[in-house]
Amino acid sequence: KKFAIFASGSGSNAEAIWQAIDRGDLSGECVLLVTDKPEAKVLERADRFNIPTFSFEPKTYASKAEFEQEILVLLQALGADYIVLAGYMRLIGDVLLTAYPKQIINIHPSLLPAFPGKDAIGQALAANVPTSGITVHYVDAGMDTGPIIAQQDVAIAGCDAAEAARRIQAVEHQLYPRVLQQVFIQQEVFK
């Protein structure tokens, strides 16, 4: 399967996916890295893995539909079957949701439906839950609301924010490539 990754930040999950491909653990081809933050660190990582990139500034467009339309043209030209969100800090709009039904996947650092939205790890620590975790899900128009594909627990009792983030990210880097492999291979099972 061919896919694009959308990311806004560091890109450690994107890198974990590219490493899984290089190791032969994930049979897919990442045809594009899209970022809405032209200074994001993920761009340097993409260069290291020779992944083509498209960065854009949302405020230079009249609307979300306008920049999503531009991205869609690129995705279609490259033959992307899926969109993989890895720290993309924006809701996906109608243009991409319509073009990629059940083919947009996200990873979120909580056991959804608990702690959707920003700073899920901070939310879990503030709520004093002993266990949080990770959710991989299909994307719909809501904020972290689409059908769940996989979840994994991560113990965070007694952790400070940095340690909780470290634990959760370490598990994300294992889980995301594994779940993507399942989705790419057994797409029918999840439909």
Summarize as ranges the residues that interact with ligand GRF (CB under 6 A): 7, 9-14, 86-87, 107-109, 169, 172
Q: Which of 28, 30, 67, 108 is catalytic?
A: 108
- Cβ of residue 73: shortest distance to ligand GRF, in angstroms? 25
Q: Residue 37 annotated as binding?
A: no
Report the alpha-carbon distance of residue 25 to residue 37 in Å, rounded.
29
- Cβ of residue 179: shortest distance to ligand GRF, in angstroms? 12
- Residue pair 105/149 in contact (Cβ under 8 Å)? The answer is yes
Nearest to ligand GRF of 71, 105 (CB atom): 105
Report the alpha-carbon distance of residue 50 to residue 30 in Å, rounded.
10
- Cβ of residue 9: shortest distance to ligand GRF, in angstroms? 4
Helix, strand, or coil (residue 43): helix
Nearest to ligand GRF of 54, 69 (CB atom): 54
Q: Look up 137 and say whether it is catalytic.
A: no
Q: Helical H runs in the chain?
A: 12-23, 42-48, 64-78, 94-99, 120-126, 161-185, 187-190
Q: Residue 12 annotated as binding?
A: yes
Backbone Cα Rg of the chain:
16
Q: C-alpha angle with apex 168: 157 to 121, nearest 5 degrees?
A: 65
Nearest to ligand GRF of 12, 103 (CB atom): 12
Q: Residue 111 annotated as binding?
A: no
Give the residue closest to ligand GRF by C-beta. Answer: 87
The order of strands in the sheet holding 148-155 is 53-55, 29-35, 2-7, 82-85, 104-108, 131-138, 148-155
Nearest to ligand GRF of 100, 176 (CB atom): 176
Distance, CA of 187 to chain centre: 17
- Cβ of residue 75: shortest distance to ligand GRF, in angstroms? 20
Binding-site residues from annotation for (6R)-10-formyltetrahydrofolate: 64, 89-92, 106
Report, as residue numbers or ranges, the catalytic residues.
108
Binding-site residues from annotation: 11-13, 64, 89-92, 106
